[in-house]
Structure 1
Amino acid sequence: MPMPRLPLVLRKLFRRRIVLGATIALAVMVAVSLLAGALSGFDPNETAVTKRLSAPSAAHVLGTDELGRDLFTRIAFGGRYSLTIALLTALGSVALGTLAGLLAGFFRRLDAPVMRVVDAMMSFPDILLAIALVGILGPSLLNVVLALVLVYTPRVARVVRASTLVVRELPFVEAARAVGVSSFRILWRHVLPNLMSPILVQASFIFAYAILAEAALSFLGIGVPPDIPTWGTMVAGSQQYAHQALWIVLFPGLAIILTALSLQLLGDGIRDLLDPRLRKSM
């Protein structure tokens, strides 16, 4: 069956205004983060004690924090770290989870041992498992990514396994086996392409989950070191001054909420588009 043309797919996806709005909001957040240096004339770590806790003004659009640093600049640069952590987490989780799910779903001998490990990991709440892993590995940007990858890999593995169990019984897979095609080639050429829909949906959701998880870990003081300006570390470091200057917590928090919500809505739109049962309603 030929793949739909990209313009037609995008037109169907953005037919729902809420999905279009979420995509635009996400694109703006990404653009602001990538163009942070050009959009702001301040250094994200430049302090000015005389301007500490300044309210939003023409000079400082979103105000300044407890050390007089420009808040817009820190949010823009912080987006680079927060989005990078979330992107690496999504890519790592999808890669490992897809591999584990394919092996468990296609090879019966591997199903039980792989899924027992997956079930054991999923028996712990995500945030508690992430806290434990970061506590063992130590607080750093790389260790936060590794911990979150391990936390979200089981989610992908279960979804991919379930889909693989269905695809492996389809006639074209049976025909490939009958003519002597190797298992690796069957997985790569026949099974994996038919799993891209649930994999893409899971990737978008994990992207959103990772942003919230990183913020939670940083807020608890066990995530990214405070000298790295992620949105989570900004909220964590400024919470004691919130009663004096609400904006230093409000704006980083809004960045987290807006980005995570946009990703969730976009993921819902992709799921509805790729699900044959929901496609007609779109």
Structure 2
Amino acid sequence: MKTPLILKKLFRRRIVLGAAICLLVVVLVALLANVITGYDPNETAVSQRLSVPTATHLMGTDELGRDLFARIAFGGRYSLTIAALTATGAIAFGTLFGLVAGFFRRLDAPIMRVVDAMMSFPDILLAIALVAILGPSMFNVVLALVLVYTPRVARVVRASTLVVRELLFVEAARAVGVSTARILWRHILPNLMSPILVQASFIFAYAILAEAALSFLGVGVPPEIPTWGTMVAGSQQYAHDALWVVLFPGFAIILTALSLQLLGDGVRDLLDPRLKKSM
């Protein structure tokens, strides 16, 4: 199926198209923050602290007089980077473990028992424990979230691998002497791309929310890194007098996560043969 036709079918639902546009706007604002904001996100002006939104400061200022719009735009770079690295790492390791567990029967039980043990803990509690052990830093937050979400991907990939490995074209490849590595890479992995893409979109959204939750609880990235989560955490005590200091960063988190969830739903519906007729 050609790419334009895929996109046409994907964006046939207005809610999915709207989610894609919102996500594109968020990404462009983060990438072009230097151009569109006109302020240094770390420049303080105590005399203008907690200023209401005006034409000069579109989203007002925070407790140190820093332009909130600039901080949200630049902070988007950090939040989106953390989420992207988390999704990439979780997909890479989860796909590897899921393929191995699903294809090699002897390794299935030990790998899945480890996965089950990790999934027995709530995601946020496991992430808090890992960051507490590793220490608060951007790298450690990404590492902790990758460890949290890898089992989720591994289970999905394993389930799909168990089905694909029994299909006739895989049996034919084995019969003609194709190596195991080639079977996994050329015959099984391409048939797993649908669930992997859907999981990637969902984990991207989960990672944004998880990073915000960790920062809000004080165990995420250091406060000097202006992610959306650290902005909400650092300004919560001023929310009673200046609601915008938590409203706008919170809205950025919700908008991005919701857009990713809706886009992921659209991709799932497009790639799932059972749901194609309803589209």
Distance 1:88 1:62 in 2: 29
Q: Give 2:201's aligned residue.
A: 204
Q: Give 2:181's aligned residue.
A: 184
Which AA in structure 2 matches 1:187?
A: L
Mapping of residues 116-265 of structure 1, within 5 Å: 116-265=113-262
Distance 1:18 1:41 in 2: 32
Q: Does 1:87 align with 2:88?
A: no
Does the residue aligned with 1:47 lie in a helix, a strand or coil?
coil
Distance 1:25 1:185 in 2: 40
Q: Give 2:15's aligned residue.
A: 18
TM-score where L is the length of structure 2: 1.00
Q: Does 1:73 align with 2:63?
A: no
Distance 1:280 1:35 in 2: 40
Structure 1 runs of 4+ with >2 Å offset = none
Which AA in structure 1 matches 2:227?
A: T
Distance 2:276 2:59 in 1: 42
Which AA in structure 2 matches 1:68?
A: G
Distance 1:231 1:107 in 2: 42
After superposition, what is the alpha-carbon deviation per residue over 1:213-269, rounded to whole angstroms, capped at 9, x for unaligned? 000000000000000000000000000000010000000000000000000000000
1:41 positional shift? 1.2
After superposition, what is the alpha-carbon deviation per residue over 1:12-47, rounded to whole angstroms, capped at 9, x for unaligned? 000000000000000000000000000011100000
Identity across matched positions, percent: 84
Which AA in structure 2 matches 1:162?
A: A
Q: Does 1:40 align with 2:37?
A: yes
Which AA in structure 2 matches 1:185?
A: R
Distance 1:225 1:47 in 2: 19
1:94 positional shift? 0.1
Distance 1:223 1:40 in 2: 26
Distance 2:275 2:180 in 1: 33
Please, which runs of 5 or more residues in structure 1 have no aligned partner?
none
Does the residue aligned with 1:277 lie in a helix, a strand or coil?
coil
Distance 1:72 1:267 in 2: 28
Which AA in structure 2 matches 1:265?
A: L
Q: Does 1:277 align with 2:279?
A: no
Does the residue aligned with 1:243 lie in a helix, a strand or coil?
coil
After superposition, what is the alpha-carbon deviation per residue over 1:143-191, rounded to whole angstroms, capped at 9, x for unaligned? 0000000000000000000000000000000000000111100000000
Distance 1:127 1:53 in 2: 32
TM-score where L is the length of structure 1: 0.99
1:129 positional shift? 0.1
After superposition, what is the alpha-carbon deviation per residue over 1:108-137, rounded to whole angstroms, capped at 9, x for unaligned? 011000000000000000000000000000
Q: Give 1:107's aligned residue.
A: 104
Distance 1:232 1:19 in 2: 26
Equivalent residue for 1:52, pick from 21, 24, 49: 49
Distance 1:172 1:153 in 2: 29
Please, which runs of 5 or more residues in structure 2 have no aligned partner?
none
1:280 positional shift? 1.1
Does the residue aligned with 1:94 lie in a helix, a strand or coil?
helix
Q: Give 1:97's aligned residue.
A: 94
Distance 1:225 1:41 in 2: 25
Does the residue aligned with 2:34 lie in a helix, a strand or coil?
helix
Which AA in structure 1 matches 2:108?
A: D
Which AA in structure 1 matches 2:13?
A: R
